[in-house]
Amino acid sequence: MQPLLAHNYSDLPASLSSACSPTPVKAPFLFASNKSLAETLGIDLDWFAAADAAEFFGGSSAHERYQSRATAYAGFQFGQYNPQLGDGRALLLGELQDVAGQTWEIQLKGAGPTPFSRGGDGRSAIGPVIREYLISEWMHSQSVPTTRALGALTTGEPVVRDRILPGGILIRVAPSHIRFGSFQYAAARQDNDALNALVALSFERHYPTHPPAHRTASTLLELVIDRTAELVARWFSLGFIHGVMNTDNMSVGGLTIDYGPCAFQDDFQWKRVFSSIDTRGRYRFDNQPPVALWNLARFAESLLPLLDDNESAAISLAEQALTNFESQFNAYRDAIFAQKLGLDSTLGSYDRICQPLLNLLQESRADFTLSFAYLEALTRSNTERVTLLERLLPQQDKLKAFWRTHLAEDAAYPQTGATNPLRIPRNHQIEQVIKAAETGDFAPFSALERALLGETSEYSEEDIRGPKPQEWLNRTFCGT
């Protein structure tokens, strides 16, 4: 049976959301279903596999079955403030508790126009749905904080972008979808009731173990700064480029949210840009930490009315908290990269070893993911994996020389399980899956889903290789 959803967001001040039902689609079909997540959420798997579930998530059920809302937020987009954005193609269906008592919001992306659509159709093409489903679930498998994907549908209807494409809907799950921009929206309207409500909900959903007596705006700012520092460090460790780090795409829970024009490094470049709309490289790989700090400063500004009645004192509190970001990011980054290289995280190895290694990868145009996996295989004396990777890494001699000089004597990894991923959601592989799905063929999607998210240690060269020259894609696109 359909899960019984609560509707807690409707209890917040009315300015923060607007009631809106999804627009029915012609032929909803659930082509991807995350059964393990559904089971964790307590969703009836028989219902989830039935046509009724596709109709409900496709917006085609009876109107009375929906109490959905589009949430309001503002945002700095590429540094320019937009006072009203909001869920232009997303709808919050409601909330439910999992078997452990954690509350999760269930949201549809691509469910049709909302009061915040700003003239858009509120729909999504199938491509962005597939991209977010695969990448978000893979990120979760790598312990990167992220929104989750419960399922994905085709709609049986076209959407018009640069060409006519089949439509899709993503079923997205997160403890909350509260963004920096949610606070900016309330602050711009000088709505302290809304700000206080957002603070309370942020603690409830993302920091529930924090003592109620200390759930203040200043504490929330400190927690969000720390979570964001860790998040961006984890992005760095995987060569991930978010592509559109606007403040409306930054989560107060430190989650990766809104996988639009994102991608992973193949051959490593510090200043790599993938997003087709990031023409000036604002959100390039190496600029993600300073952009995160800039976004946190904008978040702090929205909290000033709650930090102190005296504006100067409030600004001082915010500035003091923000000064911690750099050291927190560096600490997370250093520890994670030390782990990737099998080194003691207390030895300060990032500046001495990790950064020179990354410079070597850039100079030699070596594949980021395969290079780290190769260095680990050398340390583990995994002859089979070394042989496999040497067939894919023309830079093997330089990498082996680096290993002998910097890692051979000091590196050591846990005995069980690989530390560095061998397979990532490669841009060219995802594009191949999307092209097939656009013709109605979802077999490649299912195969890639199993390969990325299944538990296997067996890989072929074709599975893990980087793109061939004719497959190289240097631009990714937002789904709007």
**Does the pLDDT value for residue 469 go beyond 90?**
no
CA–CA dist 427, 437 (Å, integer)? 15
279 band by pLDDT with thresholds 50, 70 and 90: confident
pLDDT tens string 284-320: 999 999 999 999 999 999 999 999 999 999 999 999 9
- Residue 382 has which token pair? 């995994």
Contact, 159 vs 275, CB < 8 A? no
Q: What is the mean pLDDT of residues 268-295?
A: 94
Average pLDDT value for the chain: 94
Tell me the C-alpha distance between 74 and 212, whole Å: 28
Q: Is 248 an annotated catalytic residue?
A: yes
The whole-model pTM stands at 0.95
Q: Which amino acid is at 354?
A: C
Which secondary-structure segment (H or E) carries 453?
Answer: helix 443-453
SS3 assignment, position 159: strand
Per-residue DSSP letter, 356: H
pLDDT at 320: 98
**Cβ–Cβ < 8 Å for 169, 58:** yes
**pLDDT at 474 > cutoff 80:** no
Read off the pLDDT band of 118 (50, 70, 90). Answer: confident
Largest CA distance in the chain: 67
From the list 18, 30, 10, the residue with the least C-alpha distance to 445 is: 30
What 193-202 contacts at long range (C-beta under 8 Å, 24+ apart), as own/partner pairs, is 193/13, 194/12, 194/13, 194/15, 194/16, 195/302, 195/303, 195/305, 195/306, 196/306, 197/12, 197/13, 197/16, 198/12, 198/16, 199/303, 199/306, 201/8, 201/12, 201/176, 202/176, 202/178, 202/252, 202/253
**Among 130, 123, 97, CA closest to 108:** 123
Give the per-residue pLDDT at 272: 94
CB 48 within 8 A of CB 79: no
pLDDT tens-digit series, residues 194-206: 999 999 999 999 9
pLDDT at 480 over 70: no
The whole-number pLDDT of residue 456 equals 67
Catalytic, out of 87, 191, 193, 248: 248
Q: At 65, is the pLDDT very low, low, confident or very high (cuts 50, 70, 90)?
A: confident
